[in-house]
Amino acid sequence: MNAQAHDPDLTRPALSGVYYVGDADLDRLAATARHEQLAVCRIDLAGCVDRAGLFRRIVAALPLPADFGDNWDALADCLRDFTWLPAWGHVLLFAHAAELREHDGASFEVLLGVLDDAATFAADGDHPCFAFLALPETDPSMPVETVSFVLDREFVKLDNLLKLTGVADSGGAGKQLVASGAVRVDGVVELRKTCKIHAGQSVRVGDVLIRVSGA
């Protein structure tokens, strides 16, 4: 994601979530977040190749409680309760996340789940919470198969769209596909399985591009 037009509105709790961006996007996102008086934390994962290294970077970058337990459950608890970093909303920026994904995909996936859970919990409490992970851009030369989908209603849920277009065999498979981070909506990774897709939006999964239009 390089185009500023794709940036989510950081003041809208409903858009809280985990997004993939480019390293060059992080400074702009940080400036926008600070302008909106959101707490900003940046974690540099350059050279980070395993869970132990990830936790060292997190502990060094975040003002976590003194009794932080240095495990996934403790991290999940801290990101669900930001009393240790008071603000009306929070933005976490992970620079150079590709090395962790390449060398320890399991830890990368768990991290995504913890961040997505924190964002969902914050949104339920009407507080914005965003995590941006900087990864290399998708190769623009990748061939794309375009699928058109015509709405007969106001919106369609993302997991159902993947099923209806044949990208996923079922709604459950669609949910798993979204949870894996493989689905982009308007160029941004979307982890909300039942995200509402409206006319004019596009959804990409690998080399398949779904263009949604109105009746």
| Helix (H), strand (E), coil (C) string for 114-175 | HHHHHHHHHHHCCCCEEEEEECCCCCCCCCCEEEEEECCCCCEEHHHHHHHCCCCCCHHHHH
- Is 182 contained in some domain? yes
- Is 174 contained in some domain? yes
Give the pLDDT score at 169: 87
Is the domain of 177 the same as that of 121?
no
Is the domain of 164 the same as that of 130?
no
Q: Which of 28-42, 56-70, 147-161 has the highest mean pLDDT?
A: 28-42
Give the pLDDT score at 50: 95
- Is 11 contained in some domain? yes
Is the domain of 153 the same as that of 192?
yes
Is the domain of 82 the same as that of 118?
yes
Give the pLDDT score at 144: 59
- CA–CA distances in Å: residue 72 to residues 29, 105, 107, 143: 26, 15, 10, 38
Is the domain of 159 the same as that of 204?
yes
Residue finishing a domain among 134, 167, 200? 134
Give the pLDDT score at 126: 94
**Residue 95 domain boundaries:** 4-134
Per residue in 54-94, pLDDT (tens digit) is 999 999 999 998 888 889 999 999 999 999 999 999 999 99
Give the pLDDT score at 141: 44
Is the domain of 173 the same as that of 200?
yes
Is the domain of 36 the same as that of 124?
yes
Radius of gyration for the chain, computed over Cα atoms and rounded to the nearest angstrom: 17
Q: What is the CATH number for 186?
A: 3.10.290.10
Per residue in 105-140, pLDDT (tens digit) is 889 989 988 998 898 899 899 999 999 998 875 444
Are the CB atoms for 142 and 35 separated by under 8 Å? Answer: no
Give the pLDDT score at 116: 86
- Is 140 contained in some domain? no
Q: What is the CATH number for 117?
A: 3.30.370.10
In the chain, the number of structural domains is 2
Residue finishing a domain among 103, 134, 165? 134
Is the domain of 31 the same as that of 9?
yes
- Is 139 contained in some domain? no
Give the pLDDT score at 215: 67
Is the domain of 77 the same as that of 18?
yes
Residue finishing a domain among 134, 158, 176? 134
Of residues 50, 51, 52, the one with CA closest to residue 103: 50
Number of neighbouring beta carbons within 10 Å of residue 206: 14
Are the CB atoms for 58 and 75 separated by under 8 Å? Answer: yes
Helices 105-124 and 72-80: angle between axes, nearest 10 degrees: 20
Is the predicted pLDDT of residue 3 greater than 70, yes or no?
Answer: no
Of residues 77, 71, 74, 114, the one with CA closest to residue 94: 114
Is the domain of 92 the same as that of 161?
no
Mean pLDDT of the chain: 87
Share of the chain above pLDDT 90, in %: 49
Is the predicted pLDDT of residue 191 greater than 80, yes or no?
Answer: yes
Are the CB atoms for 191 and 181 separated by under 8 Å? Answer: yes
Is the domain of 19 the same as that of 81?
yes
Are the CB atoms for 94 and 43 separated by under 8 Å? Answer: yes
What's the whole-model pTM score? Answer: 0.66
Are the CB atoms for 197 and 212 separated by under 8 Å? Answer: yes
CA 193 – CA 123 distance, rounded (Å): 15
Average pLDDT over residues 170-199: 87
